[in-house]
């Protein structure tokens, strides 16, 4: 399919079909998704690092002192 | 501190749908204008976070305090996270208000450029290897330097985005819901910066522990 440059403005034959309420709900849904997704990711990352840190610290403490 | 901030954020944000629902429609745009009550606070937090990241980076470059680097990294990450919502909710609103999803006008373009600088900062810090703390700090300072241009771009250059005078001149019925949402999102932001900085401190401690284990 070839694409040609548009040089004139042609009014759309169909009326505006994008309802404002839907756009608003999508926006608010996205806001919550971004926040909840980030908090979940941070919670998992924090838990993993704390666990790993506890394991390595335990290994360090178990080593004989020089 | 973090639990208190999270509690404030939870109470305010759970109440926000009711507060936003009770706010009046903007006369010409109708219901879609209610995106405003989250779009503006997220944008305010995003801009604030650029300054937190930039100033913490400058402190790190001068004093070499690791905590400053952790805060810079946390705030820089939150610029990209909050920026995602700003950059997507804006077009959702624009589609109804302007009839197009995106226009390459000053505010939108500069916001995208600033977001990309902080996205580059994240990539650099994650995959750059040793020594990227210093280079990253410089990138964050550059990102912060763009933030004032993002804010004043609507006043300095002609564009489609509403000017900064909109918020101070809001009627009380619209200003109060906006301030409600602003309070919740700023409380959430403060809690997330503190938690993310603590995670980074633990990650640094883990690296040090692994090095000590290998010795």
Q: What is the band of A9 on the pLDDT scale with cuts at 50, 70, 90?
A: low
Percent of chain B with pLDDT over 70: 100
Of B15 and B74, the one with more pLDDT = B74
pLDDT at B215 > cutoff 80:
no
- The string of pLDDT tens digits covering residues A40-57 is 999 999 999 999 999 999
Classify B26 as helix, strand or coil: strand
Q: What angle do CA B199, B203, B205 make, to 5 degrees?
A: 115
Min mean pLDDT across B64-68, B98-102, B112-116, B161-165 is at B161-165
CB atoms within 10 A of CB B176: 14
Q: What is the band of A1 on the pLDDT scale with cuts at 50, 70, 90?
A: very low
CA distance B83 to B8: 22
Q: Is B122 exposed, middle or buried (0-12, 13-18, 19+ CB in 10 A)?
A: middle
pLDDT at A6 > cutoff 70:
no
Q: Read off the pLDDT of each residue in B193-206 and give the average, rounded to a whole number.
A: 95
- List residues of chain B with CB under 8 Å from any CB of chain A: 17, 29-32, 34-35, 38-39, 42, 81-82, 84-85, 88-89, 92-93, 95-96, 99, 188, 192, 195-196, 198-199, 202-203, 205-206, 209-210, 212-213
> Which of A15, A31, A43 should be substituted to probe chain B, the one whose Cβ sees the most B Cβ atoms within 10 Å?
A31
Q: Do A23 and B188 touch (CB under 8 A)?
A: no
**C-alpha closest to that of B193 among A36, A42, A23, A65:** A42
- The string of pLDDT tens digits covering residues B38-80 is 999 999 999 999 999 999 999 999 999 999 999 999 999 999 9
Q: Read off the pLDDT of each residue in B185-190 and give the average, rounded to a whole number.
A: 94
Domains of chain B: 34-174 (1.20.120)
CA distance A7 to chain B (A): 18
Q: Which residue of A has its CA nearest to B74?
A: A42
**C-alpha closest to that of B7 among B203, B197, B183:** B183
Percent of chain B with pLDDT over 90: 63
């Amino acid at each position: 399919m070839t694409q040609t440059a548009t040089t004139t403005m042609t009014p759309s034959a169909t009326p505006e079909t994008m309802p404002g309420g839907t756009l608003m709900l999508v926006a608010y849904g996205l806001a919550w998704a971004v926040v909840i997704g980030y908090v979940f990711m941070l919670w998992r990352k924090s838990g993993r690092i704390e666990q790993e840190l506890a394991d390595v610290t335990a290994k360090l403490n178990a080593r004989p002192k020089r | 501190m973090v639990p208190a901030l999270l509690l404030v954020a939870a109470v305010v944000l759970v109440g926000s749908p009711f507060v936003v629902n009770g706010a009046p429609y903007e006369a010409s745009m109708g219901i879609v204008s209610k995106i405003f009550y989250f779009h503006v606070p997220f944008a305010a937090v995003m801009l604030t976070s650029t300054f937190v990241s930039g100033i913490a980076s400058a402190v790190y470059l001068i004093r070499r305090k690791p905590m400053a680097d952790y805060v810079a990294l946390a705030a820089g990450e939150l610029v990209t996270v909050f920026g995602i919502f700003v950059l997507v909710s804006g077009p959702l609103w624009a589609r109804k208000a302007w009839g197009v999803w995106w226009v390459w006008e000053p505010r939108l373009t500069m916001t995208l450029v600033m977001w990309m600088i902080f996205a580059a900062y994240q990539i650099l810090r994650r995959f750059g290897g040793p020594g990227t703390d210093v280079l990253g700090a410089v990138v964050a300072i550059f990102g912060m330097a763009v933030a004032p241009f993002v804010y004043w771009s609507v006043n300095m250059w002609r564009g489609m985005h509403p000017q900064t005078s909109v918020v101070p001149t809001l009627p009380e019925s619209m200003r109060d819901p906006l301030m409600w949402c602003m309070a919740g999102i700023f409380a959430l932001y403060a809690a997330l910066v503190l938690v993310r900085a603590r995670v980074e401190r633990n990650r640094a401690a883990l690296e040090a522990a692994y090095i000590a284990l290998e010795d």
